[in-house]
Amino acid sequence: MRESTRGLLVIVATLAVGVVTYVFFLGPYIGEENQVDKVLTAKSTWTVTMQEYDLSGRISAETYRLVNDNGKTTMFYSATDRNGTLKFFNVPLEGPEGTFLFQSLVAEGIWELDDKPVRPRPKDEYVIVVEQTLGDEGGSRAFGFSDPHYWATTNARELMLRLPKTGTIGGRRTKTFDVSGGRPLRDDRYLKIVQMIKQFGPPSVRQAENQIRYDLLNARQPKARAAKVG
Q: Which of 130, 128, 133 is nearest to 146 (CA)?
A: 128
pTM of the model: 0.72
Q: What is the pLDDT of residue 219?
A: 84
Q: What is the pLDDT of residue 81?
A: 95
Q: Which of 215, 220, 224 is nearest to 87 (CA)?
A: 215
Contact assessment for residue 143 and residue 187, using Cβ atoms and an 8 Å cutoff: no
Judged against a pLDDT cut of 70, whether residue 29 lies above it is answered with no
Q: What is the pLDDT of residue 83?
A: 93
Q: Which of 123, 125, 130, 129 is nearest to 145 (CA)?
A: 125
Going by pLDDT thresholds of 50, 70 and 90, the confidence category of residue 142 is very high
Average pLDDT score, the chain: 82
Domain ranges of the chain: 1-41, 44-217
Judged against a pLDDT cut of 70, whether residue 138 lies above it is answered with yes
Contact assessment for residue 112 and residue 130, using Cβ atoms and an 8 Å cutoff: no
Judged against a pLDDT cut of 70, whether residue 191 lies above it is answered with yes
When mean pLDDT is compared across 46-55, 143-152, 161-170, the lowest value belongs to 161-170
Distance CA(197)–CA(193), nearest Å, equals 6
Longest CA–CA separation in the chain, Å? 127
Going by pLDDT thresholds of 50, 70 and 90, the confidence category of residue 157 is confident
Q: Which of 173, 156, 182, 146 is nearest to 54 (CA)?
A: 146
Going by pLDDT thresholds of 50, 70 and 90, the confidence category of residue 1 is low
When mean pLDDT is compared across 91-95, 174-178, 214-218, the lowest value belongs to 174-178
Contact assessment for residue 186 and residue 159, using Cβ atoms and an 8 Å cutoff: no
Q: What is the pLDDT of residue 176?
A: 56
Q: What is the pLDDT of residue 40?
A: 43
Q: Strand, coil or helix: what is 35?
A: helix
User: Counting Cβ atoms within 10 Å, is residue 198 exposed (0-12), middle (13-18) or buried (19+)?
Assistant: middle
Q: What is the pLDDT of residue 181?
A: 64
189-198 vs 97-107: helix crossing angle, rounded to 10: 170
Q: What is the pLDDT of residue 38?
A: 44
Q: What is the pLDDT of residue 230?
A: 44
Going by pLDDT thresholds of 50, 70 and 90, the confidence category of residue 222 is low
Contact assessment for residue 75 and residue 93, using Cβ atoms and an 8 Å cutoff: yes
**Kind and range of the H or E element at 45?**
strand 44-54
Going by pLDDT thresholds of 50, 70 and 90, the confidence category of residue 136 is confident
Region 111-120: mean pLDDT is 92
Q: Edge-to-edge, what's the strand order for the sheet holding 44-54? A: 86-93, 72-81, 59-69, 44-54, 124-134, 137-146
